[in-house]
């Protein structure tokens, strides 16, 4: 719980270089703690788990030079997770990171990796909640990185989920 408070307070203000270095040094511990919170099974803690997802997204944005590592970690956890509610939280974290990076284009160097993973997720989700959340992430990519979006979706326009994305995109 203290880790979550630390992350929230740290990310809500400008991070000084020494604090960023500390976060990077403790990144594995922070990610592990956030993962534990996201995987908590109590329904009563849903709001806390959503806040942890938001923290994960903000952490990724603030440590943009570590974004590749964090996104790979996030997508690996998503793929290996068996619970849809936790998968939803991982996608919420990705969306928060993409939103926070926004116009700064802080993730340009890894956006193809992110988009490929999101496309794979979109093609394989089987619940409406996960479909909607993956589309939200993809739409965020399409706004800030339209060239990456068009590269991934130009060929597959006949599949159902892609038509859904195209409708939202247009």
pLDDT tens-place string over residues 111-159: 999 999 999 999 999 999 999 999 999 999 888 888 877 776 654 444 4
pLDDT tens string 44-81 = 689 999 999 999 999 998 888 899 999 999 999 999 99
pTM of the complete model: 0.79
Average pLDDT in the chain: 82
Region of residue 159 (phi > 0: left; psi between -120 and 50: alpha; otherwise: beta): beta
Checking if the pLDDT of 11 tops 60, the result is no
Q: Which is it for the CA torsion 43, 47, 48, 54, positive or negative?
A: positive
Residue 57: give its domain's CATH number: 1.25.10.10
- The total of structural domains in the chain comes to 1
Q: Which domain holds residue 95?
A: 2-169
Q: What is the pLDDT of residue 3?
A: 52
């Amino acid at each position: 719980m203290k880790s979550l408070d630390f992350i929230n307070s740290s990310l809500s203000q400008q991070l000084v270089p020494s604090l960023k270095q500390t976060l990077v040094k403790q990144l594995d511990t922070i990610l592990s703690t956030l993962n534990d919170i996201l995987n908590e099974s109590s329904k009563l803690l849903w709001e806390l788990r959503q806040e942890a997802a938001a923290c994960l997204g903000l952490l990724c944005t603030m440590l943009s030079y570590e974004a590749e590592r964090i996104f790979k970690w996030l997508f690996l956890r998503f793929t290996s997770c068996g619970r849809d509610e936790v998968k939803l939280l991982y996608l919420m974290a990705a969306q928060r990171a993409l939103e926070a990076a926004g116009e700064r284009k802080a993730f340009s160097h890894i956006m193809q990796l992110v988009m490929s993973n999101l496309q794979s997720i979109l093609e394989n989700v089987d619940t409406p909640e996960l479909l909607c959340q993956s589309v939200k992430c993809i739409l965020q990519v399409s706004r800030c990185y339209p060239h990456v979006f068009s590269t991934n979706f130009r060929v597959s326009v006949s599949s159902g989920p892609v038509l859904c994305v195209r409708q939202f995109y247009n």
